[in-house]
Structure 1
Amino acid sequence: MRVHLCAVGRLRAGPERDLVQDYVTRFDRTGRALRLGPFAEHEVEDKRGGGMEAEAELLARAVPNGALICVMDERGKVLSSPEFADQLARWRAGGRQDVAFVIGGADGIAPVLRDRADFALSFGRMVWPHMLVRVMLAEQLYRAASILSGAPYHRV
């Protein structure tokens, strides 16, 4: 199952980019044997200033056809790392070829796209900077692959 990150904004060079790249490399390496990955990043920018609706349109175009859509939203479901790993495994076992994790802009994700989502995931009720959400998602994808492979990375 291919994993896509569809996000508003560009993650520039720096510590966040380095962390994302490190975890993505680990995820791709660990997930390969589990039929998880590869990971692809799709960044969009609303250069015309159309707000959430324009961002939602750009994000929707970035999501591969037929992909399961998982929006990152503070109103979404909060999962433990093992529960997240199980969710990925269920999507994969259900025959999903692609899953797209969607991160909106500063104002969040427009209701029209949020309503289309198959799943909403939250890293808690706090609002996180978009750069950190990417890092946290990349790390949790790697942790999920590690859990599913039986590797000792995850400690309960």
Structure 2
Amino acid sequence: MQITILCVGKLKEDFLRLAQREYLKRLHSYARLEMVEVREEILPPTGERNAVETVLKKEGEHLLQRIPDNSYVVALDREGVMLTSEEFADFLHNLGLQGQSKLYFVIGGSAGLARTVLDRASMRLSFSKFTFPHQLMRVILLEQLYRAFKIIRGEKYHR
């Protein structure tokens, strides 16, 4: 299975880049994984609704251009379904059994994800009702992917 994590923006903090690098290294023996970044649009300081929608639309277009038609898309969305780590592992395992070879996880920018991206998603996944910085969400997703593959293979991982 080829897993692509499609993100808005670049990692700015060294500690997040180090954590991402570490989990990518750990995941190397479990899956082919690629991080793809698209440009983050600048949100105006006023936060006007129309301006936010314009930013979401532009970022959404950049994201959708990167997703092949035959891909299974998981949009990270606070309003999505919440799974336990074991359920997430089962989800990944079942996708593989169903022959899904291209899996895309999509992480929006600070304004979230455009409706067009959410509509394209095969699944909307939430890690919490909390709002996390989109850059930190990458590391959280990578950790959960690593944990899921350990569960799938029956390997030890701390609880």
Normalised TM-score (structure 1): 0.90
Selected match of 1:142 from 140, 146, 153: 146
CA distance in 2, matches of 1:48, 1:139: 28
> What does residue 20 of structure 1 align with?
20
Q: 1:103 aligns with which of 104, 107, 118?
A: 107
Encode CA deviations 1:102-134: one digit per residue, 9 max, x unaligned.
011111111111011100111111110011100
SS of residue in 2 equivalent to 1:76: strand
Q: CA deviation at 1:65?
A: 3.8
Deviation at 1:68, TM superposition (A): 0.4
- Residue 154 of structure 1 deviates from its aligned partner by 4.3
Say which of 84, 90, 97 aligns to 2:88.
Answer: 84
- The equivalent of 2:37 in structure 1 is 43
Counterpart of 1:55, as a letter, is E
CA RMSD of aligned residues (A): 1.5
**Matched residue of 2:156: which SS?**
coil
Contact 1:46–1:58 (CA under 8 A) maintained in structure 2: no
Aligned length: 149
Question: Structure 1 residues 154 and 71 mapped into 2: Cα distance closer, same or farther (>3 Å)?
Answer: same
> Per the alignment, in what secondary structure is the counterpart of residue 140 of structure 1?
helix
SS across alignment from 1:60: helix
Secondary structure of 1:73's match? Answer: strand
Runs of 4+ deviating beyond 3 Å? 46-50
Opposite residue 38 of structure 2, the aligned amino acid is V
Please tell me whether the aligned partners of residues 38 and 63 of structure 2 are also in contact (alpha carbons under 8 angstroms).
Answer: yes
TM value normalised by structure 2: 0.88
Structure 1 gap segments, 5+ residues each: 32-36
Higher alpha-carbon Rg: 2
Report the equivalent of 1:4.
4
- Local SS of the residue matching 2:28: helix
Match for residue 119 of structure 2 among 106, 115, 118: 115
1:61 aligns with 2:61: no
For residues 96 and 70 of structure 2, the distance between their equivalents in structure 1, rounded to whole angstroms, comes to 14
What letter matches 1:105 in structure 2?
A: G
